[in-house]
């Protein structure tokens, strides 16, 4: 039976907000040779100054890894961000007929498709047929890398993205916009707000906008 799971994320990098800002300050003050101005609380002012002045190259000195559970279409959008590194679940080597996958495929419901709607039922029935076809191809001796040809764009995938703070800012500006696809906007706004909570200042100026 097809499993439907929600999109989600997990921040893999341990984050201590003040520690991140102190690291950014130590790296950034190399530009000005102003280490003598460092004090107990100067890292917050320094980080704010960096963001306000758009001297964002300094933010590249700290990177964060995030594991996403999203559909493969949205993963394709994420991997367009060139200044990041990605490790993604492979449909060549992951055979969903195996016990570790409970012999079924897992999909992500499109966020704007209401689970009580006729459209959802039609979509879900289609997923059942796709799963049936995929498993039959495996049964007939096809490898997972061949059988994957019938798998849908909404197939669940796990992908780890690692990017520096500057690139995360760029990702949020692009993918939290009202112009972004609803599914990637849904997960990225949650991640942006969580990073705002964990790291002071760096993401505070990023708000929802068209």
**Which positions are catalytic?**
175
Given strand 84-88, what is the order of strands in its sheet? 8-11, 63-71, 156-164, 84-88
**Calpha distance 181→75 (Å, rounded):** 12
**Calpha distance 202→77 (Å, rounded):** 24
DSSP 8-state class, residue 131? H
**Calpha distance 53→205 (Å, rounded):** 13
Q: List Cβ<8 Å contacts ≥24 apart for 139-143.
A: 139/97, 143/95
| 26 φ, ψ (degrees, to nearest 5) | -60, -40
């Amino acid at each position: 039976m097809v499993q439907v799971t929600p999109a989600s994320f997990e921040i893999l990098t341990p984050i201590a907000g003040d520690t991140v800002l102190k690291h950014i300050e130590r790296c950034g003050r190399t530009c000005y040779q102003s280490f003598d101005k460092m004090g107990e609380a100067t890292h917050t002012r320094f980080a704010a100054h960096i963001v306000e002045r758009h001297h964002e190259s300094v933010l590249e000195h700290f990177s964060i890894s995030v594991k996403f559970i999203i559909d493969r279409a949205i993963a394709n959008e994420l991997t367009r961000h060139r200044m990041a590194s990605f490790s993604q679940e492979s449909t060549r080597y992951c055979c969903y007929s195996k016990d570790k996958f409970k012999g079924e495929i897992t999909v992500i419901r499109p966020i704007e498709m209401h689970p009580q709607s006729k459209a959802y039922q039609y979509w879900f029935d289609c997923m059942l047929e796709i799963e049936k076809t995929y498993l039959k191809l495996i049964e007939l001796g096809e490898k997972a890398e061949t059988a994957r040809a019938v798998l849908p764009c909404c197939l669940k995938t796990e992908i780890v993205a690692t990017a520096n703070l500057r690139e995360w800012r760029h990702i949020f500006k692009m993918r939290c916009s009202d112009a972004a696809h609803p599914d990637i906007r849904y997960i990225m706004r949650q991640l942006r707000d969580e990073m705002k909570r964990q790291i002071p200042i760096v993401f505070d100026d990023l708000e929802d906008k068209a």
